[in-house]
């Protein structure tokens, strides 16, 4: 593979690699730009032909409409409650289970881990009806636990995998040292394992939060009442009236996207390492 050679003047910048990079950046960013500018356009400009690439009449009406007349604030609150609760529970449970399943202490750990792998790729549609029927019979439909419980269960297998892999990197001599110092298993987890597993917890936390924030099928099925809708359901059902209020939809979309984008950019190292390290090491 030939490497880029140093060149002078414009030739230094105009080369296949930079052109390729520019193409990728434009193709990725263009739809995002369109989403962003459309959220600030007036209804007339949203429907303008030919489309306006640069909005001339900047307006915040869409945001007002989304937040005031379309219950977006309620949806966001619901999403925050569900996603934060899910994340906290998954972090706690996966830390303990991941630690226990490092294989040092449990027989049949490999079998359990394989079963978890299979579960984590199972299509959600396959379990939708039973969970719906169960939640209906015990009155959990249209409630926060009605979403939090399935979200915790479906995010746990993956979270346990991640935690287990981080914790396997911790030498067992550290645990043993802690035991010799007289710490019980609980104490060892809290004061030795917990501080060492921060990178794993970050990865699990970001993945779980984004998954819970984006999940649609279960949220649509279990929590369809307005007061319990999460953001994806709210945004999907925005356009069910007479016309599709794209301006308001995009204002809601931008509002729903900004928190997650900030989170993802802050924790991007955790995400990239979570996405890749194992596959790379093979």
Near another protein in 203-262, by CB under 8 A = 203, 207, 210-211, 213-218, 221, 231-233, 235-236, 238-239, 244, 246, 249-250, 253, 256-257, 260-261
- CB-wise, 13 or 58, nearer to another protein? 13
From the CB of residue 223, how many other CB atoms can be counted at a distance below 10 Å? 23
From the CB of residue 109, how many other CB atoms can be counted at a distance below 10 Å? 15
Residues binding another protein: what is the number (CB under 8 A)? 122
Spatial distance between the Cα atoms of 227 and 75, rounded to a whole number of angstroms: 7
Stretches 2-10, 54-62, 63-71, 80-88: which one binds another protein (CB under 8 A)?
2-10
Q: Which of 124, 142, 183, 199 binds another protein (CB under 8 A)?
A: 124
Please say whether the dihedral angle defined by the alpha carbons of residues 115, 82, 140 and 142, taken in this order, is positive or negative.
Answer: negative
Task: For the CB of residue 68, give the shortest distance to another protein in the complex, in Å.
Answer: 20
Spatial distance between the Cα atoms of 75 and 80, rounded to a whole number of angstroms: 9
Tell me if 54 contacts another protein by CB under 8 A.
no
Spatial distance between the Cα atoms of 205 and 187, rounded to a whole number of angstroms: 23
Spatial distance between the Cα atoms of 263 and 269, rounded to a whole number of angstroms: 11
Spatial distance between the Cα atoms of 217 and 214, rounded to a whole number of angstroms: 10
Tell me if 145 contacts another protein by CB under 8 A.
no
Tell me if 77 contacts another protein by CB under 8 A.
no
From the CB of residue 240, how many other CB atoms can be counted at a distance below 10 Å? 7
Tell me if 148 contacts another protein by CB under 8 A.
no
Q: Which of 7, 20, 191, 194 binds another protein (CB under 8 A)?
A: 20
Tell me if 74 contacts another protein by CB under 8 A.
no
- CB-wise, 9 or 111, nearer to another protein? 111
């Amino acid at each position: 593979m030939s490497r880029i050679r140093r060149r002078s003047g414009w030739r230094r910048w105009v080369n296949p690699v930079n052109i390729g990079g520019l193409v990728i950046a434009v193709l990725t960013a263009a739809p995002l730009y369109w989403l962003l500018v459309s959220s600030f356009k007036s209804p007339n400009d949203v429907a303008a032909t030919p489309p306006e690439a640069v909005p001339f009449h900047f307006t915040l009406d869409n945001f007002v409409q989304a937040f005031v007349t379309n219950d977006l604030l309620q949806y966001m609150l619901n999403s925050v409650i569900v996603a934060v609760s899910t994340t906290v529970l998954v972090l706690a449970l996966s830390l303990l289970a991941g630690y226990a399943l490092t294989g040092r202490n449990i027989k049949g750990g490999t079998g359990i881990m394989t079963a978890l792998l299979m579960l984590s790729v199972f299509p959600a549609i396959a379990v939708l009806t039973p969970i719906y029927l169960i939640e209906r019979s015990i009155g959990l439909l249209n409630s926060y636990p009605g979403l939090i419980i399935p979200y915790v269960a479906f995010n746990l297998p993956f979270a346990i995998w991640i935690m287990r892999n981080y914790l396997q990197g911790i030498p067992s001599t550290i645990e043993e040292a802690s035991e010799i110092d007289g710490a019980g298993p609980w104490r060892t987890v809290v004061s030795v394992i917990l501080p060492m597993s921060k990178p794993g917890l970050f990865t699990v936390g970001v993945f779980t939060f984004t998954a819970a924030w984006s999940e649609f099928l279960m949220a649509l099925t279990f929590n369809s009442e307005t007061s319990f809708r999460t953001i994806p359901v709210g945004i999907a059902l925005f356009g069910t009236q007479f016309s599709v209020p794209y301006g308001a939809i995009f204002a809601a979309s931008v509002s729903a996207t900004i928190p997650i984008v900030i989170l993802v950019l802050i924790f991007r190292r955790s995400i990239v390492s979570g996405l890749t390290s194992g596959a790379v090491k093979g």
